[in-house]
Structure 1
Amino acid sequence: MSNPEEPYQPGHADAGARPAAPPRQPPAQPPGQYADPTPFGLPGQPLAKDRKKLWIILGIVGGVVLLAVVGIIVLFNVLGGATNHARGLADGFTKLVIAGDSSQAYDDYLDPALQEQLSKEDFIAGVESLEMDETCEPAYNDLKVSSENGNNAADIAGVITCDGRQVDLAYRFEGTDELKMTNIKLRPKA
């Protein structure tokens, strides 16, 4: 028997002692193949299943980012198109008024509801009192477009400058398909 104070020494044969187990050997592999050092692959290498999940996640994230970018581009194109359309309406109306074609501006741009409130004669007389001529140039400082329940609206504000004189302008265009002027302000700037 061994002394309890002495550590077990492999060279001593004790009656109750178990022999030491031989070291484990990896199973034999066919020539040219190597056994995985761990049952899960090399440390730091993801499993094939994890790579598949990674690609799925990256695909989803990429799809969401792509949809967001496309949505933003479409939104800017729609709003940019509406803004350009509103600016074109304001330019067309203002050029007719400056050129002295107030009758055509009244017929082509004013909404029938506004025409009921403002007679053609009063409109023409009001524009003539501003004494605008070919030296006048419009500048739009504020242009806002909106759409609600299929009704589109554009608010335009700015100044018409004529040889040192200025005329404040403010227009509102509304409509579903074709925008018509529903509100107008043309006054000498104070």
Structure 2
Amino acid sequence: MSNPQEPYQPGHADAGARPAAPPRQPPAQQPGQYAGQFGAPGQQPGQYPGQFGAPGQYPDPTPFGLPGQPPAKDRKKLWIILGIVGGVVLLAIVGIIVLFNVLGGATNQARGLADGFTKLVIAGDSSQAYDDYLDPALQEQLSKEDFIAGVESLEMDETCEPAYNDLKVSSENGNNAADIAGVITCDGRQVDLAYRFEGTDELKMTNIKLRPKA
């Protein structure tokens, strides 16, 4: 007849029963690793969330700077150099404009003088042409009588028309010069002309050639 089963009593383990498992302990925290850190799998210790690069490497302190941008001192030198170059170019442009205006004014003046002088000698007003256009230095070399006689020998009349095909103007140290060459075409014949005007504010004829075209 079997013995009745004894009631279970705490603290008395069955000789054949398996011992109870010890309570689970949380995993040991690695040095430099913070609780609640959200990092990518395989993140190394000491690496902070959101940090890019090798462990221990800090982000670029100027992440918004352009790659290869020079330091402030280099940029200042660059601006100084650019300013100097720009100033030189500006001065050159201004000088060209001034020179162009000076030469342009001298060209127009010389053309007007040549045309006025030629029309006087064609019309027979050689005395006035001599007094109004010839430079005193040229008048010392060529008397008025010789000048008038030379113009009369060309036998020009109202049919003659001048044409200026070469005009060169130069300026040096405030002194302007203009060389004009052309031809006077009359009825059936031509006369070569060559004038030189010089001066600062007012140009005067310093050289003259009027001779029948060969």
Alignment match, 1:173: 197
CA contact (8 A) 1:153 1:174 kept: yes
Are the counterparts in 1 of residues 126 and 151 from structure 2 also a CA contact under 8 Å?
yes
Structure 2 CA distance, aligned partners of 1:129 and 1:60? 63
Q: CA deviation at 1:65?
A: 1.3
- Contact 2:160 2:186 (C-alpha < 8 Å) held by counterparts: yes
Q: CA deviation at 1:16?
A: 49
Aligned CA distance change for structure 1 residues 45 and 182 (closer, same or farther; 3 Å) = closer
Q: Secondary structure of the equivalent of 1:63?
A: helix
Residues 42 and 99 of structure 1: CA distance in aligned 2, closer, same or farther (over 3 Å): closer
| Distance verdict in 2 for CA 1:94–1:25, change over 3 Å | farther
The 1:138/1:39 distance shift into structure 2, 3 A limit, reads: same
What is the percent sequence identity of the aligned residues?
A: 97
Aligned to 2:124, the other structure's residue is in SS state: coil
Q: Check 1:154–1:42 CA distance in 2 against 1; reply closer, same or farther (3 A cut).
A: closer
Tell me if the contact between 2:177 and 2:197 (Cα under 8 Å) persists in the aligned partners.
yes
Change (3 A) 1:66 1:113: closer
Residues 17-74 of structure 1 deviation map (CA, whole Å, 9 limit, x = unaligned): 999999999999999999x357995533333443333322222222221111111111
- Root-mean-square deviation (CA), in Å? 15.7
Contact 2:166–2:182 (8 Å) recurs in 1: yes
Task: Give me the TM-score of the superposition, normalised by structure 2.
Answer: 0.62
Larger Rg: 2
Identify which range, 140-149 or 17-26, moves more after superposition: 17-26
After superposition, the Cα gap between the structure-2 partners of 1:138 and 1:37, relative to the gap in structure 1 and judged at 3 Å, is same
* CA gap 1:54/1:33 in 2 versus in 1, 3 angstroms: farther
Q: Which of 20-29 and 88-97 deviates more? A: 20-29
Q: Residues 153 and 12 (structure 1 numbering): CA distance in 2 closer, same or farther, change over 3 Å?
A: farther
Change in 2 beyond 3 A, CA 1:175/1:70: closer
**Contact 1:86 1:154 (8 Å CA) reproduced:** yes
* Distance in 1 (alpha carbons) for counterparts of 2:185 and 2:209: 15
Aligned length: 189
Q: Distance in 2 between matches of 1:11 and 1:97?
A: 151
2:53 equivalent to 1:29: no
- 1:2-21 to structure 2, matched below 5 A, reads none
- Going from structure 1 to structure 2, the CA distance change for 1:58 and 1:152 (only over 3 Å counts) comes to closer
Structure 1: stretches of 5+ with no match in the other structure: none
